[in-house]
Copies of this chain bind each other. A is one copy, B any other.
Amino acid sequence: MARAAAKKVKPRKRLTGDERRESILEAALGCFLEKGYIATTINDIREASGATTGSIYHFFDGKGALAMALLEDAVAGWSGESTATSETPEAVIKASAGGLVSWGLKNPELFRFTDEIRTLAVTAPEFAGIADTLAEGQGSASASYSKFLKAKKVKDLPWPVAHSMMLGPAYNFLRLATTGRARVAAKRAVEIFADAAWAAVKA
C-alpha cells in the first residue's frame, strides 16, 4: 500500500538468461499462490524476483503469459501423479481421481491457482483456450473412456457426465480442502475418491 518512494537501487546479482528466466517464473508462482493471480502485480513479481520490469517483459509476454507457463508445469505434475500402473479400466480411473486428490493435497496452492485461472478463463479473453488445457490434464482418462465403454466396462454416459461423475467429487473436495474447509487424512482421501470414481461409472 505504502509504496516505497524512489527506491534506491540495490545491486542485483548477475544472472544468466536462463537463471533469470527461472527466477522470474519462481517469483511469479510465489506471488500467484500467495495473493492470487488478479491481485498480483508485475511490480510484485519484480520485487520478488529481483529482476527489472524490462527483464520480465524480455522473457515473457506479460502477466498472462507467465500464468500460462506456470500452468503447463502444473498440469504436467498433475498428469504425472495420475498415471496408472496397469491398463485396466479400474486402475486407470482410480489413478485418475486418486492422482488428482493426491496432487491437489500436496500442492494446495497450485490447485487454487489453476482453479482461479480456470474461472477467469470464462470471461478473460487472455485465457481463452486454457480451459481445454486444463480439461486435458484433469481428464487424462478422457481418451480411454470410450475405449472402456466399447469393452462394456463402464456405464454409457456422455463424456461430460462421466467426467463429472469420476472427478467431480475429487475436485469438489479439493476446493474445500484447499480453502481450509475440509480436513481429512490425505491417504484416506485418495482412496475414498479413487474408489468412488470407479464405483460411479463401472458398468
Q: Which residue of B lies closest to A4 (CB)?
A: B61
**Chain B CB within 8 A of A36 CB:** yes
Interface of A is mostly: helix
Does B115 contact A169, Cβ atoms closer than 8 Å? Answer: no
List, in ascending order, chain B residues with CB within 8 A of A64's CB.
Answer: 2
Q: Which residue of B lies closest to A157 (CB)?
A: B192
State A125–B1 Cα separation when bound (angstroms). Answer: 9
State A106–B182 Cα separation when bound (angstroms). Answer: 30
Does A3 contact B169, Cβ atoms closer than 8 Å? Answer: no
Does A5 contact B116, Cβ atoms closer than 8 Å? Answer: no
**Chain B CB within 8 A of A11 CB:** no
User: What distance in Å separates the Cβ of A136 from its nearest Cβ neighbour in chain B?
Assistant: 12
Does B169 contact A165, Cβ atoms closer than 8 Å? Answer: yes
State A123–B32 Cα separation when bound (angstroms). Answer: 10
**Chain B CB within 8 A of A181 CB:** yes
Give the interface segment out of A74-82, A85-93, A172-180. Answer: A172-180
- B65, B161, B170: the one within 8 Å of A184 (CB): B161
User: What distance in Å separates the Cβ of A93 from its nearest Cβ neighbour in chain B?
Assistant: 14
11 contacts between A and B (CB under 8 A): A1-B38, A1-B120, A3-B61, A5-B59, A36-B124, A38-B123, A38-B124, A164-B176, A168-B168, A169-B169, A199-B200
